Chain A
């Protein structure tokens, strides 16, 4: 065991004396008398943060997790449902273990207001909770109307399926109902957006389904961008597995969609009309609505944060993690949110006992499935710098472009293991 240096020991000792003064009974009983940390949002960011606060800050603090739904369906792996490889129930998690095993007070409600001065949050049920520190992990919301004609009502007809659940099921059903020879149009947004490789994994797994069940069908991806995550790997695999089935149209070559017509099942990019039997519109995004109403966003629509602690640059004692924050070079992914949540929990544990923040480090590992036995990854290790979070040069990167099938098959097997481990680490 490593010896603590004198400074660290004094900090622990100081923290202990505070505990002694504030009544240690809370250590063995219900954690109600210690400082109260409120976490809002039960996705990969919020669930993980609540759990790791308990692991890292100990039993004396009170932790409340506020989430509007009793169940959480993960976006990671939801493309496997769209491709017919899995059912939605295998991606559905709940908060019972967090409540029971980690003594987290899970409140199923919606936050209606944040008072950063009084350090309290109001819930739609009428409750008001005071906090020592607030962590919000609200994920994304869509910029309805940014694509002309595409609002929430339109998404019930032309699904986005970019928040998993009913939308995932709807897109899957439309693909199943589509006749052979149909055209699937996908609209992919400009950066930044949730899950950079996600649209291309989705196209791959839809192609996998169509190849087996409706081989005369086609997929057209109309992209606002000219390049995308793991592009070479995806395009190599499309050529190998789905030749002629997937057409990718980059933004500079007519891919930039500006208008959607729900009635005629058409989207418009520059001057061209594209009709689809199934149309999947992944709209432009912004930080979750709560981040906006709480005054935590800047002109980008996302939340500026301290790169070491994720404390908001706009409001003290409020931390923003996950897709909603401006996390430097980290992508908006479930794994990134999960990694940020652990750092945030550790920093809050340090701050609660008067320690300065610890020098942080993060990992992101994103698996994409191109077929059930064909996986690829992108990975990176990140550090905080005064300019923000950056990836460590010389580390990370994507799977090798030239690799035998055994490597792709191994990554597909590990993708499944990744899902099991990351969801267990977040929710149980």
Chain B
């Protein structure tokens, strides 16, 4: 399916001949997901002992965040953080990390 966003990306490429089309970043999703990087690393690739989340599927991220949110999954700090997001926002965060996957080396 060619989405409007893909079309926008295509437009940048056609107009400018550049592969990088950062203007098509979904800023609302980025604003929700970017704070995660403070602990889980830029784009979800951890630099240390906190688990990376870049290789998780969107479904796995949604399941993990919802389990932390409900208290079903114990956490040190994620149980407290996950409670700050609606289910819609959790989906948006998961989709954002999923959308980064093709660009990130594990």
Q: Are A9 and B76 in contact (CB under 8 A)?
A: no
What is the interface size of chain A, counting residues whose CB is below 8 A from a CB of the partner? Answer: 67
Contact (Cβ within 8 A) A19 B24: no
Q: How large is the interface on B (under 10, 10 to 19, 20 to 34, 35 or more residues)?
A: 35 or more
- Provide the main secondary structure of the chain B interface: helix
Tell me, in angstroms, the Cα distance from A278 to B25 when the chains sit together. Answer: 52
Q: Which of A13, A54, A421 contacts B41 (CB 8 A)?
A: A421
Give how many A-B residue pairs fall within 8 Å (CB-CB).
188
Inter-subunit contact A422/B39 (CB<8 Å)? yes
Is B24 within 8 A of A12, CB to CB?
yes
Interface string of B4-23 (1 = CB under 8 A from A): 11111001100111101111
When the two chains form their complex, are residues B12 and A16 in contact, meaning their CB atoms are under 8 A apart? yes
Contacts A24-B18, A416-B49 given; does A359 touch B12 at CB 8 Å:
no
Chain A contacts of B47 at CB under 8 A?
417, 420-421, 423-425
Say yes or no for B84: interface residue by CB 8 A criterion: yes
Residues in chain A within 8 A of chain B (CB atoms): 1-4, 6, 8-9, 12-13, 15-16, 19-20, 24-25, 27-28, 52, 54-60, 335, 338-339, 342-343, 346, 349-350, 353, 355, 358-363, 365, 377, 379-381, 392, 394-397, 399, 407, 410-411, 413-414, 416-425
Instruction: Jot down 15 A-B pairs with beta carbons below 8 A, ordered by A.
Output: A1-B5, A1-B6, A4-B26, A8-B4, A19-B15, A19-B23, A24-B15, A342-B37, A349-B25, A361-B32, A363-B36, A363-B81, A414-B39, A417-B39, A425-B47
Give me the interface of B with A, judged by CB distance under 8 Å: 3-8, 11-12, 15-18, 20-32, 34-42, 46-50, 76-77, 80-85, 89, 95, 99
Please name 8 further chain A to chain B contacts, defined as beta carbons within 8 Å, in addition to the given A346-B27, A353-B23, A420-B49, sorted by A numbering: A1-B3, A4-B8, A52-B34, A358-B31, A359-B31, A361-B84, A395-B80, A422-B38
